[in-house]
Amino acid sequence: MPDLYQTLRSTDLDFLQRIARIWKIELTSKSFTAALKEMEAAMGQESSFHETVELLSEEAQTAWSTLLARQGRESWAVFYP
């Protein structure tokens, strides 16, 4: 399973901006590369991370718990049967 940075790197600026809104991150950059660096810095802050995890649906929190229990290694098929 790709890590967060690899996943975000394979997207585009619009997608980053959508994720930023969910995480309540204000992106000031208009270029993808700069916005990706902003996202990486903001998402790496522990308080921001915990706040966002608490906002997840029950199903998403269960998926997150599964990933934690398996040290981030899980087949996509588990999440998309």
Does residue 15 carry a pLDDT above 80? yes
Work out the average pLDDT over 65-75.
83
Cα 61 to Cα 27, 30, 31, 68, distances in angstroms: 26, 31, 31, 10
Does residue 47 carry a pLDDT above 80? no
> What tens digit of pLDDT does each residue of 24-34 get?
889 999 999 99
Higher pLDDT, 57 or 72: 57
User: pLDDT exceeding 90 applies to what percent of the chain?
Assistant: 26
**Band of residue 5 on the pLDDT scale cut at 50, 70, 90:** confident
